[in-house]
Amino acid sequence: MPGLLTDKVAFITGAARGQGRAHAVRMAREGADIIAVDIAGPLPPKVPYLSATPDEFAETVDLVKAEGRRIFHRVVDVRDYDGLNAAVADGVAELGRLDVIVANAGITIPEAWHDITPESFRDTIDVNVIGTWNTVMAGAQHIIDGRRGGSVILVSSLAGVKMQAFMVHYTASKHAVTGMARAFAAELGKHHIRVNSLHPGPVATAMGTGDMVVALNKAFETNPALVQMGTPFTPNWIVEPEDIAASAVWLASDEARHISAVALSIDNGMAQF
């Protein structure tokens, strides 16, 4: 039985693990071939969780192949405009087309406002904002050239529709991604390309590893009253990467063919409280 993305090709950043891997595997299961990139190596120095590894990236490749689909993969930092463009061009040459972009790669650095350095602010903006822009720029013309239309999905955050305490730089970056999605939607719409943003709340990924909890607790201690600003309406607090991937697949599919410039929250209502 055909899947929602049968014979389409999806370009996904940050695909080595977590949400990026979930997007790649679920889209492959729905019939898509995948162009996958990841830094698969050290992240900026103030990022407190463990970096993705080449072995994790290789596991994503194997999981996509296990779904019976093709995958082109390359180690690329989304801050590398030329490298990203080359990877997508080579992926399209190998797989034949491009229909979907998922700009998933991003970082977060929990810090109270007075602990943020120019370096950590710049790193956050460079990865989350410029990296997202690089991703769209690397892929959009290929979708246009295919003359079939397509879907672009920018992964923002709860922090892109509300805010997230102790993360001024992250909140700023994710609000920028939200606005970028709307702006791209306006200009790419004439090519039948829809652009939307996804806004997950807490997700069970490797962002909880390493010194992440220590960094969060240090920031929380500076203003405990702000800790409970995001409260879900349902008993669920944390979602799985596969829950985010399910929404991405729907946005990428023809079932969402009239959905564009929408900020879709997947947070159990947290953005409303």
The structure tokens listed for 138 are 């690397």
Here the CATH number for the domain that contains residue 203 is 3.40.50.720
Number of domains in the chain: 1
The per-residue pLDDT for range 184-217, each reduced to its tens digit, is: 999 999 999 999 999 999 999 988 889 999 998 9
Residue 3 lies inside a defined structural domain of this protein: no
Q: Is the pLDDT of residue 236 over 90?
A: no
Q: How confident is the model at residue 1 (pLDDT cuts 50, 70, 90)?
A: low
The per-residue pLDDT for range 16-64, each reduced to its tens digit, is: 999 999 999 999 999 999 999 999 999 999 999 999 999 999 999 999 9
Of 184, 172, 227, nearest to 202 (Cα)?
227
The per-residue pLDDT for range 149-181, each reduced to its tens digit, is: 999 999 999 999 998 899 999 999 999 999 999
Residue 242 lies inside a defined structural domain of this protein: yes
Q: Is 170 annotated in the active site?
A: yes
Of 19, 12, 36, nearest to 102 (Cα)?
12
What is the percent of the chain where pLDDT is above 90?
88
The per-residue pLDDT for range 65-105, each reduced to its tens digit, is: 999 999 999 999 999 999 999 999 999 999 999 999 999 99
The structure tokens listed for 64 are 């996509």
Q: How confident is the model at residue 232 (pLDDT cuts 50, 70, 90)?
A: confident
Residue 2 lies inside a defined structural domain of this protein: no
Q: Which listed residue (170, 178, 230, 266) is catalytic?
A: 170
Residue 113 lies inside a defined structural domain of this protein: yes
Residue 80 lies inside a defined structural domain of this protein: yes
Residue 235 lies inside a defined structural domain of this protein: yes
What's the distance, Cα to Cα, between the start and end of the chain in Å? 41
Its domain, for residue 48, covers 9-272
| Residue environment code for 239-259, b if the CB has 16+ CB neighbours within 10 A, otherwise e | bebebbbbbbbebbbeebeeb
